[in-house]
Structure 1
Amino acid sequence: MFSPPQPEQRHQDVDASIRLTDADAALARLSAVQRGYLQDPFIKPMVPRAHQQPLRSPLINVGTFVRSTAIDSLVYGWLELAALAENPCQIVSLGAGSDTRFWRIATGPHKDRLAKYIEIDFPEVTAKKAMAIRKNKDLSAILGDVKLANGGTSLQGPVYNLLSADLRLPPSETLAPLLTAPLPSNPSASSSQPDPLLSPSLPTLLLFECVLVYMAPEASSALIRWFVDYFSSDNQEHAVLGGIVYEMFGLNDSFGRVMLNNLKSRNVLLPGVEPYPSESSLPNRFLNHKFTIAHALTLREIRKSFIPPADINRISKLEMLDEVEELDLVLQHYAITWGIKLPNGVDGSKPKAKWLEWGMKPSAGAIGAETDNENV
């Protein structure tokens, strides 16, 4: 018999299992692209032996489509508001994995609105991503002049920066050295206050796609609190902070227990799910940190009322979906939460109040949509 795993080994096994969830997400996106649900010319280089990967089920393809469409809508809405405010903005994707959003933005109509796009993940994940980027001319050409750093686990460029860190550790030890350090292009600036990599004076959007649920509640709270504190310094004229969280929730019913058991069999635990037993509890993720507003929608609600009927009709013709009830059940246990924190002193008479219009908008003609114009 093998000897029982030591605590350190068990910790490493859990981390490896968590990292594999990114591979699952990348394969799901690749399948959705190959089936025609989504357009993403940048996903194949992120997936080893992409041409040999099997397609996913229609249920997974539809779920991937709803998730991606909804998050894209929020991100592009943020970029458009930044343009109205005549400011470039920053996006920080935490637990970014194999995500291709930067390249999709950088080759689209919003490409000039990014001051910085920063991705942070485990060093094992960022090392693989850095290698995939450098090996693919289409990915690397878009980045401009980037430098490999930290033993191949990081990329540093004028806009795109790929950084490695364990987000479960205290942010003062991990995020602060990464994000508040002087820009790589000017490490020995003579100014007493050189520009940091992440500016506290530009509108900044935080992305948490299926990452906080794998962390202890105390760790995820500390992570958000660090950004809130960083963007709460005095006299920051444009320090608008937004956040998007995508994750499962409400796993205290029979479906949720099955999901938890299936994940546990793969050595994946969800310590961050317990504080959020219901949809109404999800905005607390941001409201507990004094965000100005926060809202949440399940993927089921989004599919029903927030995606244009023409898109729903288009994807319905791609594959036969027999498990409609199962799809609704799955989508009911995943949600997108978004929130925004305006600087102190901003009220409805000031320009930044325009940011309060940011959010998911019901689609005209969608089943269940009660209005064509109001945000949630």
Structure 2
Amino acid sequence: MATKTKKQHGRDTAVQGTNDSSVVSKVSAAAQGYFQDSFLQHFVCKTSRRTPLINRGYYVRWRAVDHCVKTFLHITGNVSRRQIVVLGAGFDSLYFRLHADGALDGAVVFEVDFPDVTKRKAALIKGSPTLAEVFGPHLRSGTGPLCVSAGQYQLLGVDVRQKSQVEEALCAAGMDWSAPTLILSEVVLTYMETNWSDDIISWAAKRFPQSLFVLYEQIRPNDPFGRIMQNHFLKINSRLHAITEYPDCSAQKRRFLDLGWDQCVCLDMNQFYLGLVLEEERCRVEALEPFDEHEEWHLKCSHYFILTASRGSLTTRALLQDDPGQLLHSNVFITLSSFTAKLINSHHLFYIQYCLSVTDHLLSSDVRLHHTATSLPGGDIVVFGGRSSPLNPVSGLVRLAVEPFISPDPAGPADGNTARLHVENMTCTGAPPAARWRHAAAVVDHSGENFLFVFGGKHESGAVLGDACFLHLKQQHWTEGSVPEPRHSHTACSHRMGGAVVFGGLNERGAPLGDVALLRPNGSGFAWEILEVQPSPVPRYSHSAHVIGDNLLLVGGVWLHSDGVPDVAVINLVTRCCVEFRLDRDSVPWPLMLHSFCSEITDPEEPELLLLGGGGNCFSFGTHFNCQPVTRLLQSELSLGAFQNPSA
């Protein structure tokens, strides 16, 4: 028993440590202008600037909680007494912000956390003139679990899991159980065993007849990002418990309804950000720092949710809305039960290990990412665009020729796996396209002449580009053509009729696209045709794509409109039917991330898909990259995708 108690104490201490790192991240986001909070800095000893990805992540968390709290205070504005109970408050500055905004008329804030945490917080409040002067002469130390008592602010040192002690402490601090009350928990309940957190949720529903519960936590534990997220918290001895039994928004909603709450709304943070944050505010936030981690941002947001549950008269005053905004209408995802193909089949992946040595390479000063490398007839490769940082795009074109390398040393390698890379900077005429990255490029043919087609991308100004440019590869001359909707992080594939097929990407609003645009050659040049595909492909970006015969093959990427992660979709360009397939990722012994990766078809006759690279920063949970190439045979996908009939 003593050993168990010691282990539990160690876990509790580790959980308390998450408060310290969290408040530093909040201070960083506030310092960069993501939100206004001049009080947080007084709760940290040393500040540290976080990456733009982490700053955005804490901004959307702050924004969601602030939205719910401010809405609650607004809808209860005509009530003489209302209350906010913060479970596991840590060093949060909620009371101080609301007081400074003049939003606490008739409201009392109760903060509950471990005694060690609240004692530290009380000492910081009393030792800071800025914080102490908020209370004036009303600031006083309490007795027992009451660390600070100051009229509208009560700081209680009680283990949240001990309901009877929590209830006793709240009563002693002046809780009015019948008054409208908001209960707030930000990544707190999930650190305790699920039976305890369920008990707290049920207790709150019974004890507060006129109440709202706001919960911010993690979801989706089983995809690659979710596995890395869970491993991170295991490493810091702060296991996520509820995520296993309640892995998605639907399960969380059922949880609260089953535990006594009358109504419940649950949104992941992509839904909240794109649906409930005004476009003007999103533009302000997105202009604060150079940013190009769209995949990691959307993945982070898809693994956190904001939930509101209500009891009593407050059930008619929703803090959140289901499916806010046009982006979130889910009619784009259609199961294939009415078609002859079945989505449920598992398709195995195989990982392999080999390497190709290259004797020459690009200069280190030419480091770039998010560029295109397009294969030309004859085997050469044209590299265009890319960036070293979001403020430093790479301009110009480079032509690469891979030549077999014969070592002058008879004892040198002779296995054919060594090559020489010849690099040539291309000099072109005409008006060149603006420097860009996250664009797409493909070779197209017009009247027997080959062109490099470049479409879309991102600009150093932050703009999403919508131009289409054509480079005559023989004459090395640029011309500009007409375009569909601006986008970046999309794909463009050469088509056997001489044109190209463009799919997906992110538009100017930061929303994924699911359209299929076919660029066809005609008598005067090229013309666009938007294909109507049924069922509509789920919008995605940062994927890869290949044309095999009449089929467009989509692999991986990031999507917001469906659960799980994108695997493989086949769109027949003749019948205009789409079939989605799931891959059995369990056959690969690491979390297989299919974004920011490359893929190639190694044998068009018996198509085999080769996946290279992939992954990136997983918010504050560490960095993960796929460590080896992976292959997948495609016969079943292509045979099922080729014969779909739109009228079937």
TMscore range, shorter length: 0.7 to 0.9
Please state how far the C-alpha of 1:153 moved relative to its aligned partner: 6.8
For 2:106, give the aligned amino acid.
Answer: R
User: Is 1:274 matched up with 2:216?
Assistant: no
User: Is 1:146 matched up with 2:139?
Assistant: yes
The one-character-per-residue Cα deviations of 1:21-55 (angstroms, maximum 9, x if unpaired) are 11121011100011111110100111113xxx221
Name 1:79's counterpart in structure 2. 73
User: Is 1:297 matched up with 2:267?
Assistant: yes
Please state how far the C-alpha of 1:241 moved relative to its aligned partner: 0.9
For 2:135, give the aligned amino acid.
Answer: L
Does structure 1 conserve the Cα–Cα contact (< 8 Å) formed by 2:29 and 2:59? yes
Does structure 2 conserve the Cα–Cα contact (< 8 Å) formed by 1:246 and 1:335? yes
Q: Distance in 2 between matches of 1:88 and 1:153?
A: 21
User: For 2:39, which of 36, 42, 54 is the aligned residue?
Assistant: 42
The one-character-per-residue Cα deviations of 1:147-188 (angstroms, maximum 9, x if unpaired) are 21347971122110000111123x12x11220123x5xxxxx
CA 1:330–1:200: 2 relative to 1, 3 Å? same
Name 2:602's counterpart in structure 1. none
User: For 2:86, which of 60, 85, 93 is the aligned residue?
Assistant: 93
Name 1:356's counterpart in structure 2. 316
Does structure 2 conserve the Cα–Cα contact (< 8 Å) formed by 1:95 and 1:208? yes
Name 2:169's counterpart in structure 1. 178
User: Is 1:128 matched up with 2:128?
Assistant: no
For 1:142, give the aligned amino acid.
Answer: V
Q: TM-score, normalised by structure 2?
A: 0.48
Q: TM-score, normalised by structure 1?
A: 0.82
Segments of structure 2 that go 5 or more residues without pairing to the other structure are 330-648
The one-character-per-residue Cα deviations of 1:324-366 (angstroms, maximum 9, x if unpaired) are 1111111100001101101xxxxxxxxx46x5132235999x7
CA 1:30–1:92: 2 relative to 1, 3 Å? same
Does structure 2 conserve the Cα–Cα contact (< 8 Å) formed by 1:363 and 1:369? yes
Please state how far the C-alpha of 1:83 moved relative to its aligned partner: 1.0
Q: Distance in 2 between matches of 1:107 and 1:278?
A: 36
User: For 1:211, which of 165, 179, 188 is the aligned residue?
Assistant: 188
Does structure 2 conserve the Cα–Cα contact (< 8 Å) formed by 1:305 and 1:362? no
Q: Distance in 2 between matches of 1:139 and 1:59?
A: 29
Q: Distance in 2 between matches of 1:176 and 1:64?
A: 31
Does structure 2 conserve the Cα–Cα contact (< 8 Å) formed by 1:92 and 1:204? yes
Does structure 2 conserve the Cα–Cα contact (< 8 Å) formed by 1:96 and 1:121? yes
Does structure 1 conserve the Cα–Cα contact (< 8 Å) formed by 2:265 and 2:320? no
Q: Distance in 2 between matches of 1:229 and 1:298?
A: 27
Does structure 1 conserve the Cα–Cα contact (< 8 Å) formed by 2:202 and 2:260? no
Q: Distance in 2 between matches of 1:369 and 1:296?
A: 13
Q: Which has the higher contact order (CA 8 A, sep 6+)?
A: 1
CA 1:363–1:251: 2 relative to 1, 3 Å? closer
Q: Give runs of aligned pairs for residues 1-376 of structure 1, distance below 5 A.
A: 6-49=3-46, 53-84=47-78, 86-114=79-107, 116-144=108-136, 145-150=138-143, 154-169=147-162, 171-172=163-164, 174-181=165-172, 183=173, 197-232=174-209, 240-342=210-312, 352=313, 356-360=316-320, 368=327
Does structure 1 conserve the Cα–Cα contact (< 8 Å) formed by 2:145 and 2:156? no
For 1:72, give the aligned amino acid.
Answer: D
Q: Distance in 1 between matches of 2:280 and 2:328?
A: 14
**Other structure's SS at 2:154 match:** strand
Q: Distance in 2 between matches of 1:363 and 1:247?
A: 19
Q: Distance in 1 between matches of 2:213 and 2:151?
A: 23
User: Once superposed, which parts of structure 1, at least 4 consecutive aligned residues long, lie more than 4 Å away?
Assistant: 150-153, 361-364
More strand by share: 2
**Other structure's SS at 1:148 match:** coil
Q: Distance in 2 between matches of 1:130 and 1:44?
A: 15
**Other structure's SS at 2:141 match:** strand
The one-character-per-residue Cα deviations of 1:173-209 (angstroms, maximum 9, x if unpaired) are x11220123x5xxxxxxxxxxxxx1101210000011
Segments of structure 1 that go 5 or more residues without pairing to the other structure are 184-196, 233-239, 343-351, 371-376
Please state how far the C-alpha of 1:225 moved relative to its aligned partner: 2.3
Does structure 1 conserve the Cα–Cα contact (< 8 Å) formed by 2:308 and 2:320? no
Does structure 1 conserve the Cα–Cα contact (< 8 Å) formed by 2:149 and 2:155? yes
Percent of aligned pairs sharing the same letter: 29
Does structure 2 conserve the Cα–Cα contact (< 8 Å) formed by 1:208 and 1:246? yes
* Rg larger in structure: 2
Please state how far the C-alpha of 1:111 moved relative to its aligned partner: 2.4
Does structure 1 conserve the Cα–Cα contact (< 8 Å) formed by 2:246 and 2:252? yes
**Other structure's SS at 2:48 match:** coil
Please state how far the C-alpha of 1:228 moved relative to its aligned partner: 2.4
Please state how far the C-alpha of 1:248 moved relative to its aligned partner: 0.5
CA 1:307–1:369: 2 relative to 1, 3 Å? farther
C-alpha RMSD of matched pairs (Å): 2.2
Name 2:356's counterpart in structure 1. none
